[in-house]
């Protein structure tokens, strides 16, 4: 079991390093083969938190980023507190399948060469709404991707700006998820601190390797890899949920 956990976090960290997301989605999808969604979400808090910090601060200019996306951050916090969706403690809501389907469709849309509309002119109004929905889905699925990822990409950011902005959203959502899990314990026991830390080194190693690759590829190739990664993650999450049933 311990070896499996280390392999999962190494792979998840590598994917996150290359495309800027994927550690929670990959971790949740693979870990729930042996663990409950609640336990899997608890296990990924420490690795996800530190890799998100790395992603956020690696490019600098964090204050400028916060100044631009503060309403997105507030929306995520509010959504995680007052979610309109059933949360992780409700095992009957097929949130993983829903999120997986949305991710797969978004990845397929991008691979077909369709460009998202430029929504930067409406950023002031959309950021808090998108943030709220992202926060609500975080406590429902353990993952913040839809609608935050396609929205941020629609702002026509450069590669490293996109990755850093996603790092900001992921950092805030992971903090919110940690608070939610602490305040809403369920019958399953949380993993021990030793196991919580077990995924940290593999995740950091995987992310370091993935980041090295990202810096060496062109914007166009990065875009294609990004959408392939999103499509693969979504398809896996959807099929994994169907397989469970």
Torsion over CA: 22, 220, 103, 161 (sign): positive
Q: Is the pLDDT of residue 224 over 90?
A: no
CB 51 within 8 A of CB 23: yes
| Chain segment 151-179, per-residue pLDDT in tens | 998 898 887 788 889 889 989 998 998 89
**How far out from the chain centre does Cα 26 lie?**
9
Tokens 């693979």 correspond to 30
Q: Break the chain down into helix, strand, coil percent, rounded to 5.
A: 75, 0, 25
Q: How far apart are the first and last CA of the chain?
A: 23
pLDDT in tens, 128-158: 999 999 999 888 877 777 788 889 988 988 8
Contact 120, 156 (CB under 8 A): yes
The string of pLDDT tens digits covering residues 7-30 is: 888 988 888 888 777 787 777 767
Cα 31 → chain centroid: 15
pTM, two decimal places: 0.78
Q: Domain-by-domain residue ranges, the chain?
A: 2-244
């Amino acid at each position: 079991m311990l070896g499996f956990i280390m392999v999962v976090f190494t792979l998840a960290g590598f994917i996150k390093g290359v495309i800027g997301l994927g550690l929670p989605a990959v971790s949740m999808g693979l870990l729930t083969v042996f663990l409950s969604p609640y336990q899997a979400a608890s296990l990924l808090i420490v690795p996800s938190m530190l890799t998100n910090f790395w992603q956020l601060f690696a490019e600098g200019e964090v204050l400028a980023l916060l100044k631009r996306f503060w309403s997105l951050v507030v929306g995520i916090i509010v959504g995680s507190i007052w979610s309109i969706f059933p949360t992780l403690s409700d095992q009957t809501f097929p949130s993983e399948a829903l999120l997986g389907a949305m991710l797969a469709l978004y990845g397929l849309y991008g691979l077909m060469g369709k460009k998202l509309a430029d929504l930067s002119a409406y950023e002031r109004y959309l950021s808090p709404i998108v943030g709220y929905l992202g926060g609500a889905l975080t406590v429902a699925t353990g993952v913040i991707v839809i609608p935050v990822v396609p929205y941020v990409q629609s702002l026509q950011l450069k590669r490293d700006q996109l990755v850093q902005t996603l790092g900001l959203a992921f950092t805030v959502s992971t903090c919110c998820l940690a608070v939610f899990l602490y305040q809403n314990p369920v019958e399953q026991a949380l993993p021990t601190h030793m196991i919580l830390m077990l995924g940290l080194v593999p995740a950091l190693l995987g992310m370091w390797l993935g980041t090295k690759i990202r810096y060496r590829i062109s914007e166009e190739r990065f875009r294609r890899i990004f959408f392939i990664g999103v499509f693969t993650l979504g398809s896996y999450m959807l099929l994994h949920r169907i397989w469970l049933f």
